[in-house]
């Protein structure tokens, strides 16, 4: 065992930690369980693209009352430095995960013990509602306890700034700097001040729903199609607190909730992973949709910032759309609606991440709407909205990992608002006598058939982290000359901040923050992106290919061609 790790363990054994924690550590030492001890203490949890996130347990690399307390104390110290002589206000929410309510209360106690006024949701609520409340209550910061769609062993801590977006540089680094200054758990003020903790009431729920209803484009269409059959599952998470209510307020009268997954439960008993990106997590909804001959499946993840959807394809079979497809359809619909309403003036924009489909860029350009690309993490879309405030109007944005935002009242991906616009989208298509899948084929016929897939390789622990680092170094130093037979024409290295044109040999800055991401772009428009995850022990490869679709009847043939191309790329680059 490394000396530094042993020193950390000794600090926990001799410090002001509870008896159960010390007994557990002593047992691991007695059993010579170095692997578990190394993984628990080899590093401290850091803020990544999703904030603080890790498995629940004992150690500096785990989510527990001490790491949550130290993160909150660091954030409290930073807030007091940043806003001297102000009454600092923060809002706190939590999801259905194991210990989420406990961690939320600890967070409230530490803030209040530091003289900070806390607005605390007394029950679980969606992450986007927390973002909304930060802005609505004019808070300086906010925290939501969640690990989003991670497995049940995980929990996390997302910190928000006064714009309602997750913290970005320099705040994220400054906060972790304050956390690292805390050398002893004794420096954390755990004894809360109840007088400074205010429970958030139902009036904020109502304001949030009213805001979402304001996004409705064609209420008359919804009225005509109000009886369309919608199947909804919250996958044991927070979506149950808002999605059925919002759909009802919109006018939809035929919503079927999957009862087996309706109750919030952090053990997620009916799924392996509570992730709407996984077909297994959607199996109960798919079964119910087939029984009802439904029009739409909606599924939100535990903290309701992501949504997965299912619709019937052109063969009458149920198909789950991926994040790029759903995001593209939302943008396709809203661009048409804004143009029809005469609201496109040249001062509007949509936004997406660098690993999200370029189809969105192409559609935005067709409407004369700007489409800035930002680093992975919705906080960067929030930062772009903030930067353009007063100059350009935000229509919508999204990322390939099933997260979308409509309007700017929330500054994080919002599955509640997304469920609302998707339901309207399906009603709009149905009103025209077509399905959402037909609308997608129309979109591809107009702008090109873009097909993307994500390959994630899991590399756990310290050795895994080193392996991922080596993989990125190898690709950075030895990029492929060709991909699927097409020569590489452009190489973007966001760590070095370089965008290299390999045809004419010029290099320009990427003009984004530094991030360990590589992108290879070929002459035929194929794009492969490599990125270590900021929240999970994974390295992710995003593969994007495209072909013209002359008419929607050619969909199947072109789709098979694109799938074959992706398979060859995966094999060629050894991504499996």
Which residues are identified as catalytic?
Answer: 148
Phi first, then psi: give them for residue 254, nearest 5 degrees.
Answer: -130, 55
Rounded CA gap, 28 and 21, in Å?
11
Q: What is the largest distance, in Å, between two alpha-carbon atoms of the chain? A: 72
Q: What share of the chain is helix, strand, coil (3-state, %, to 5)?
A: 40, 20, 35
Say if residues 256 and 294 touch (Cβ distance below 8 Å): yes
- Torsion over CA of 382, 296, 452 and 550, rounded to 10 degrees? -120
Ranges of H-type helices in 56-189: 65-82, 100-113, 127-136, 171-181
**E strands present in 301-427:** 307-312, 318-321, 348-353, 373-374, 393-399, 403-406
Closest CA to 155 of 110, 95, 109: 95
CB 451 within 8 A of CB 558: no
Return the SS3 of 199.
strand
DSSP 167: P
Yes or no: say if 55 and 76 are a contact pair by the CB < 8 Å rule: no
Say if CB 357 and CB 399 are below 8 A apart.
no
What does residue 133 show for φ and ψ, rounded to 5 degrees? -70, -35
Identify which of 241, 220, 312, 239 has the alpha carbon closest to the alpha carbon of residue 281.
239
Nearest to 249 by CA among 121, 101, 423, 48: 423
Q: Is 139 helix (H, G, I), strand (E, B) or coil?
A: coil
Q: Which of 282, 76, 263, 48 is nearest to 166 (CA)?
A: 48
SS3 259: helix
DSSP one-letter code for 370: B
What CA–CA distance (Å, rounded) separates 176 from 552?
A: 51
What's the CA dihedral at 370, 363, 511, 406 to 10 degrees?
Answer: 70
User: In the structure encoding, which two tokens stand for residue 245, read together?
Assistant: 């209510």
Integer Cα distance of 273 and 261 in angstroms: 13
519, 492 Cβ separation under 8 angstroms: yes
């Amino acid at each position: 065992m490394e000396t530094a790790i042993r020193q950390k363990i000794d600090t926990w054994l001799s410090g002001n930690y509870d008896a159960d924690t010390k007994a557990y550590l002593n047992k691991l030492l007695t059993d010579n369980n170095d692997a578990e001890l190394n993984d628990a203490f080899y590093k401290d949890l850091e803020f990544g693209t999703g904030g603080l996130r890790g498995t629940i347990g004992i150690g500096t690399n785990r989510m527990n009352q001490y790491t949550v307390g130290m993160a909150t104390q660091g954030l409290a110290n930073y807030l007091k430095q940043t806003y001297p002589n102000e009454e600092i206000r923060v809002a706190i929410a939590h999801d259905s995960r194991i210990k989420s309510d406990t961690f939320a209360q600890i967070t409230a106690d530490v803030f209040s013990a530091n003289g900070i006024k806390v607005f605390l949701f007394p029950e679980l609520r969606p992450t986007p509602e927390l973002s909304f409340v930060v802005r609505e209550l004019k808070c300086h910061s906010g925290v939501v306890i969640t690990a989003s769609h991670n497995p049940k062993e995980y929990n996390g801590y997302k910190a928000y700034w006064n714009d309602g977006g997750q913290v970005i540089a320099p705040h994220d680094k400054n906060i972790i700097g304050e956390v690292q200054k805390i050398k002893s758990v004794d420096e954390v003020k755990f004894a809360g001040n109840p007088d400074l903790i205010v429970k958030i009431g139902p009036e904020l729920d109502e304001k949030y729903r009213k805001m979402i209803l304001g996004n409705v484009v064609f209420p008359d269409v919804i009225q005509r199609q109000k009886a369309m059959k919608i199947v909804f599952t919250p996958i044991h998470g927070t979506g149950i607190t808002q999605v059925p209510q919002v759909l009802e307020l919109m006018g939809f009268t035929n919503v079927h909730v999957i009862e087996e997954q309706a109750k919030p439960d952090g053990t997620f008993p009916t799924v392996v992973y509570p992730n709407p990106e996984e077909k297994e997590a959607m199996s109960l909804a798919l079964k119910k949709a087939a029984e009802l001959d439904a029009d739409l499946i909606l599924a939100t993840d535990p903290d309701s910032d992501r949504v997965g959807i299912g619709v019937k394809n052109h063969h009458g079979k149920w198909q789950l759309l991926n994040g790029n497809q759903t995001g593209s359809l939302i943008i396709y619909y809203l661009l048409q609606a804004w143009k029809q309403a005469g609201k496109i003036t040249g001062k509007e924009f949509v936004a997406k991440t660098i690993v999200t489909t370029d189809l969105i860029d192409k559609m935005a350009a067709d409407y004369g709407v700007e489409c800035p690309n930002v680093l992975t993490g919705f906080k960067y879309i929030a930062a772009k909205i903030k930067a353009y405030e007063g100059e350009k109007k935000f229509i919508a944005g999204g990322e390939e990992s099933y997260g979308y935002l409509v309007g700017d009242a929330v500054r994080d991906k919002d599955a509640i608002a997304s469920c609302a616009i998707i339901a309207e989208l399906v009603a709009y298509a149905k009103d025209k006598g077509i399905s959402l899948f037909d609308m997608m084929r129309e979109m591809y016929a107009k702008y090109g058939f873009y097909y993307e897939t994500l390959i994630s390789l899991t590399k756990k622990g310290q050795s895994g982290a080193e392996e991922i680092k080596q993989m990125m170094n190898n690709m950075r130093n030895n990029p492929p000359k060709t991909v699927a037979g097409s020569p590489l024409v452009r190489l973007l290295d966001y760590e070095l901040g370089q965008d290299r044109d390999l045809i004419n040999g010029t290099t320009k800055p990427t003009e984004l923050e530094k991030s360990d991401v590589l992108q290879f772009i070929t002459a035929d428009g194929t794009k492969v992106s490599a990125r270590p995850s900021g929240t999970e022990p994974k390295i992710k490869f995003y593969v994007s290919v495209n072909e013209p679709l002359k008419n929607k009847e050619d969909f199947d043939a072109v789709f098979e061609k694109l799938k074959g191309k992706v398979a060859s790329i995966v094999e060629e680059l050894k991504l499996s």
